[in-house]
Structure 1
Amino acid sequence: MAGTVLCEPSELYNILNQNQRYSRLTEPNFLCVIDTRAEGPYFCSHIITAKHAKWGSDGKWIIPADVEVESMRYIIVYDSNTSSLQDSGPATDYAESLAKASRHPVQILKGGYERFSAIYPFFRNQKILYTIRELESLEPYPVEILPGQLYMGEFRQAANPQILKDLKLTALINVSDDLMLENGKLTVLHIRVSDSVDADLSSSFESVCNFLTSHLEARSVAFIFSTHGISRCSVLAMAFLMHHLQYTLKEAWDHVQKCKANMRPNRGFVQQLSSWELCVLGKKITDISEPNY
């Protein structure tokens, strides 16, 4: 039995926005979101792609026929507002029934639908069934590095006015090969560095950290993006976490990788982050010769 754990809203948000060529929601065994509220609230509005939990004639929960619980990577269950594993309610009951067959812990959304929909209202809808083509056409949002403060992603997301509006973005760091269109509501720091092992990104670490610190202190919401949202932007996100939260390189790496599973800085940038760790923390703590790096 894999057991149950709580899932923060930002964790579900990031899982929903994992992508490679297409959104990972197209993968049949990647994510299953289950809504255990009554039919009325569910049909009125629910978290995107969520299935409705049903009762059997024997008074027990029915597992959706198209959900392979044993092989599903993420199963996230929610009700209206459950906030603790000790709470008694439909979310905890249903999660415990699924956990008996799951290889991974079944997650219960902390704060339920009420909290998630208040933070991310643009990730709720009334749609029940999706075709593969519809899932492929979903536009992933930038992942959330610091909840409500810092996001990371790719150029096409920065060029999408709806995403800028939904996330209330006002401060952007552009480390892509593309130029942003002028927008008087945005403050943009453009760092022109190629994604190559010989490129010098470390000389921008201090200015990036100062830029982000000043904007976050002013309660602005910031977004770091590169062309594909995998290498350069992840380096700057890690450099900021090391500076802002005194993370080791390993801690920053694990944090950003949890937010965006396919992030992958090139080897030259990893070495620059190692030197930044020495600069920020006074010593090199992370062994970048390990295969993970």
Structure 2
Amino acid sequence: MTGLVLIEPTELYNILNQRTVYPCLSDTNFLLLLDARKKLEYDESHVICAKRAPCSEDEIFSVPYDAELECKTHVIVYDSNCRTLREKGRAVKCASTMAGNGSKNPVKILRGGYEDFSAMYPFLRTQKIIYLPQELDVLNTYPCEILPSILYIGTKDQACSKTVHKDLKIQAHLNMSHSTDAFFTGEDKSTYLQIPIEDNCEADFSSHIPRILDFIANNRKTLRTMLVWSDRGISRSAAACIAYLMTYYKWPLKDAWRHIKTCKFTVRLNRGLVRQLSDYEEKLHENRMTNVDDPNY
């Protein structure tokens, strides 16, 4: 349907957990998340920061009075368990209303609705309806999900969070910094690997790629959930994830980069890491398939 797209639960999870200095949810123009279920269901529990979509008794939806659809980067709608855009359920009806009333981007509908999302991410359920700006400014975010329930990318603060480890069931760490790990040690080589490189253009990343790939592959085989982290979680940790995606999926650098940026919008590798990943691409594919001189990289 025109103006509507279906998204997976992991995409909503990642949108909710984007941050720069502050959580992106604290930006009023970042996200409008609408719960199209009935009031009783919404009051019982809903996704964090979701607003109940205004709806008449005969299921005619209207735009929230303060929606400012033309300003929102993301407009996302969910109901109980919408599976396709062909359904004529509450989510599609609500999303169509938002799309027809000025949303500047396609309106996203959550596949599987609240049922699937809350089953995958129960820690993002709440009964809280109103968030003050100062509450959103200090909201704790989770690491972004690169491969659902397998691979996450995060910061030092997230790597040291008991809540993160409990909720995501983190079982292994790949530490791409000089910082000390709060949960794992070098004693168990199967669950902890530290690659202490500097975040600068002169740092040697290439020689560590085989160890990084082996660590992620071995933990994936044993079904351990992994967190790849560095101090800010935007450069060295991202390079490690990109190298793995290039290897496992046989992707060129540009495709692995695109996937990482889709999961974590703030990723920004230093130029030294980009050049080394370009060299690795040539080694994998016997060709440089990505123009790293493009300012997008």
CA contact (8 A) 2:184 2:192 kept: no
Letter in 2 for 1:292: N
CA contact (8 A) 1:35 1:77 kept: yes
Alignment pair present for 1:219 and 2:223: yes
**What percentage of aligned pairs have identical amino acids?**
42
Alignment partners' CA distance in 1, 2:43 and 2:36: 12
* TM-score relative to the length of structure 1: 0.97
Alignment pair present for 1:136 and 2:137: yes
Letter in 2 for 1:33: L
**Post-superposition shift, 1:41?**
1.0
**Post-superposition shift, 1:88?**
1.3
In the TM superposition, 1:65-214 aligns within 5 A as 65-100=65-100, 101-183=102-184, 187-214=191-218
Alignment partners' CA distance in 2, 1:203 and 1:64: 54
CA contact (8 A) 1:2 1:106 kept: no
Q: SS at the partner of 1:76?
A: strand
CA contact (8 A) 2:30 2:74 kept: yes
* TM-score relative to the length of structure 2: 0.95
Alignment partners' CA distance in 1, 2:159 and 2:130: 29
Q: SS at the partner of 1:13?
A: helix
CA deviations 1:72-112 (Å, max 9, x no partner) are: 11011000000100011010001001101211000000000
Letter in 1 for 2:41: P
Letter in 2 for 1:167: L
Letter in 2 for 1:7: I
CA contact (8 A) 1:2 1:102 kept: no
**Post-superposition shift, 1:181?**
2.7
CA contact (8 A) 1:4 1:96 kept: yes
Question: What is the aligned partner in structure 2 of residue 32 from structure 1?
Answer: 32
Alignment partners' CA distance in 2, 1:181 and 1:131: 32
CA contact (8 A) 1:278 1:284 kept: yes
Question: What is the aligned partner in structure 2 of residue 265 from structure 1?
Answer: 269
Query: What's the Cα RMSD here?
Result: 1.6
**Post-superposition shift, 1:62?**
2.1
Q: SS at the partner of 1:256?
A: helix
CA contact (8 A) 1:35 1:78 kept: yes
Alignment pair present for 1:237 and 2:238: no
1:237–1:183 CA distance, 2 compared to 1 (3 A): closer
Question: What is the aligned partner in structure 2 of residue 280 from structure 1?
Answer: 284
Q: SS at the partner of 1:152?
A: strand
CA deviations 1:255-283 (Å, max 9, x no partner) are: 10111111100001100000111122222
1:85–1:182 CA distance, 2 compared to 1 (3 A): closer
CA contact (8 A) 1:274 1:286 kept: yes
Alignment partners' CA distance in 2, 1:282 and 1:58: 61
Aligned counterpart in structure 2 of residue 246 of structure 1, from 237, 245, 250: 250
CA contact (8 A) 1:2 1:103 kept: no
Alignment partners' CA distance in 2, 1:246 and 1:164: 30
CA deviations 1:180-233 (Å, max 9, x no partner) are: 135489921011100010000111111111110111111111110000011101
Q: SS at the partner of 1:239?
A: helix
**Post-superposition shift, 1:57?**
7.4
CA contact (8 A) 1:155 1:228 kept: yes
Which structure 2 segments of 5+ residues have no match? none
Q: SS at the partner of 1:166?
A: helix
1:59–1:255 CA distance, 2 compared to 1 (3 A): closer
Alignment partners' CA distance in 2, 1:25 and 1:194: 30
Q: SS at the partner of 1:55?
A: coil
Q: SS at the partner of 1:169?
A: coil
- Higher mean C-alpha deviation, range 11-20 or range 51-60: 51-60
Alignment partners' CA distance in 2, 1:109 and 1:176: 35
